[in-house]
Amino acid sequence: MTLLLATLHQILQMLLVLTLAPLLTGWVRLVKARLVGRRGPSVLQPYRDLLRLLRKEVVLARNASWLFRSVPYMMFTAIWLAAGLVPVFTTQLALAPTADLIALIALLGSARFFLALAGMDTGTSFGGIGSSREMMIAALAEPAMLMIVFSVAILVRSTSLAEIADFMMSGAVGLRISLALALIALVMVAIAENARIPIDNPATHLELTMVHEAMVLEYSGRHLALVEAASMLKLLLYMALIACVFAPWGMATAGSGVAAALGGMVVFVAKLAVGGTLLALFETSIAKMRVFRVGEFLGGALLLSLLGAIFLYVSRGV
């Protein structure tokens, strides 16, 4: 019975993240437009964009291989699965014991690995520029992310996201300097991983500054729709992750009924709205940085997270 319920929650969650992801992106775009004094498109515009892309034909570069054509599916699946692993409205999920936070990071790493390969498949210079920069950013963001995981895992004594959320909700943690450091580092990593300002600009097509956009420049039609949807999902995933670890309140737990699950969904949407507004505020108030300053930014994130982990390693026996 419990397993059945957990499976049901899991399927619901997979559908929920899929439906909400374009809405979140639309919301961020709308708030950003309002902040700079434009009216901005409707919140539903990302859905329309995706549908339009799906209806268009695919234009493939002459020497694109099977890898180029299958990567959008692979990366979308990996990110979709990863988004399904982060508890958003309930901690009772069927897949929780199969993959922990470390596996989740590695799943996102797989998606990036294959997308970077796809960027190099067409043999154009833009794909290469995007792939090489993306891998440089990842080389710093991934260890920072793992250090954040270490901090949280040592506090909670588990790397399972469901257990982390349960523990954080119980309020047994209190305020901790390590958690504050981890939160700052996680926000920095999330900005870099989602190609947001000041690391990258999702709206740019200027060749000197493109990172993510350069990598996917040769994609079109349904492939591009998948790649775009995957980045929307990834943004939602990181917001859900931050919410799950640092603000898990309102989530349903094991044994709480249907009403709690429904309440969890409403609270989650509210959290996304707040997160999206904060992101838009941050992005409009800061300038894009040079590509080679990114190393310093993410190196800072890595050091902050390492410092947080060291504090915990020293201060706590298991």
Partner 1 sequence: MGLVVSAIAFLFAVAVAGAVARRLPQAPTVVYGGTAGACALIALWAAVRLAGGGPDAALVLPVGLPWIQAHLRADALSAVFLMVVNIGGITASLFGWGYERAHHDRHGGSHGGSHGGTQDGPVLPLYPLFLAGMNMVLIAADAFTFLLSWEFMSLASWLLVLSTHREPETPKAARLYIIMASFGTACLLLAFGVLATAHGDYSFAAIRAHAPAAGAAALVVVLILLGAGSKAGLVPLHVWLPLAHPAAPSHVSALMSGVMTKVAVYAMIRVLFDLLGEPEWWWGGVTMGFGALTAVMGVLYALMQDDVKRLLAYSTVENIGAIVIALGLALVFKAAHTPVIAALALAAALLHVVNHSLFKSLLFFAAGAMLTATGSRDLNRLGGLIHRMPTTAVLALIGAAAISALPPLNGFVGEWLLFQAILNAPALSAWSLKIEIAVVGAALALATALAGACFVRLYGIAFLGRPRSRAAGEAVEVGRAMRLGMAVPAVLCVVLGVLPTPLIRLFEPALRLLVEAGPFDGRAYQPWFWLAPTSAIGNSYNGLIMLVVIALLSVVLVLGIHRKASDRVRWSIPWGCGFDGPDPAAVTQYTASSFGQPIRRAFGSTVFRARDHVDMPAPGDTRPARLSVTWTDPAWVVVVEPPARAVGWLAEKANRLQFMTIRRYLTLMFLALVVLLVMVAVTQR
Encoded one letter per residue, x for contact with partner 1 by CB under 8 A and - for no contact, window 216-255 reads --x--xx--xx-----------------------------
**Which of residues 118 and 252 has its CB atom nearest to partner 1 in the complex?**
118
**In degrees rounded to 5, what are phi and psi of residue 64?**
-70, 140
Which of these segments, 121-129, 193-201, 257-265, 272-280, binds partner 1 (CB under 8 A)?
121-129
Considering only 1, 4, 37, 62, the residue that binds partner 1 (CB under 8 A) is 62
Tokens at 138, concatenated:
């990842």
Please name every residue paired with 252 in a beta bridge, in sequence order, or none if there are none.
90
Site residues for partner 1, window 136-165 (CB under 8 A)? Answer: 136, 138-143, 146-147, 150, 153-154, 157-160, 163
Q: Tell me the residue type at 133.
A: R
Site residues for partner 1, window 273-302 (CB under 8 A)? Answer: 291-292, 295, 302
Site residues for partner 1, window 74-93 (CB under 8 A)? Answer: 74, 76-78, 80-81
Contact between 184 and partner 1 per CB under 8 A: no
Q: How far is the CB of 95 from partner 1 (least distance, A)?
A: 7
Under a CB-based contact definition with an 8 Å cutoff, are residues 101 and 149 in contact?
Answer: yes
Number of residues that bind partner 1 (CB under 8 A): 85
Query: Beta-carbon neighbour count of residue 216 at 10 Å?
Result: 25
Considering only 2, 44, 48, 123, the residue that binds partner 1 (CB under 8 A) is 123
Considering only 109, 198, 250, 300, the residue that binds partner 1 (CB under 8 A) is 109
Contact between 110 and partner 1 per CB under 8 A: yes
Considering only 59, 173, 254, 262, the residue that binds partner 1 (CB under 8 A) is 59
Contact between 177 and partner 1 per CB under 8 A: no
Under a CB-based contact definition with an 8 Å cutoff, are residues 24 and 196 in contact?
Answer: no
Residue in the structure block whose two tokens are 């349904």:
222
Q: What is the DSSP letter of 219?
A: -
Among 108, 110, 109, 80, smallest CA distance to 95 is for 80
Tokens at 95, concatenated:
């897949």
Under a CB-based contact definition with an 8 Å cutoff, are residues 67 and 115 in contact?
Answer: no
Tokens at 236, concatenated:
């939602």
The Cα 111–Cα 230 span in angstroms is: 9
**Which of residues 184 and 310 has its CB atom nearest to partner 1 in the complex?**
310
Which residues lie below 8 Å from residue 264, measured CB to CB, with a gap of 6+?
88, 89, 90, 250, 251, 252
Contact between 209 and partner 1 per CB under 8 A: no
Contact between 12 and partner 1 per CB under 8 A: no
Contact between 13 and partner 1 per CB under 8 A: no
